[in-house]
Amino acid sequence: MIVTTEEMKIEWIDRYSSYQRIKRDNGDQENKTLDYEIATAIAKLSVLGVNVKDLTI
């Protein structure tokens, strides 16, 4: 199965959105793993040409 760039963008936007919702719901509770996942998603979306600034909650 070959995944197109557009499909990859959609998948990573969905993941990033989920991570942002989890972070918001955690409040002030620190979660280094979640922070790392968010940073990784931002890097991957950046490579795909997606501006995450518009996606941040």
Per-residue pLDDT tens for 1-57?
899 999 999 999 999 999 999 999 999 999 999 999 999 999 999 999 999 888 877
> For residue 37, which of 56, 52, 18 has the smallest C-alpha distance?
18
The Cα 17–Cα 28 span in angstroms is 18
Give the pLDDT of residue 56.
Answer: 76
Q: Where are the domains of the chain?
A: 5-54
- The structure tokens listed for 30 are 């620190």
52: left (phi over 0), alpha (psi -120 to 50) or beta: alpha
Three-class DSSP category at 18: helix
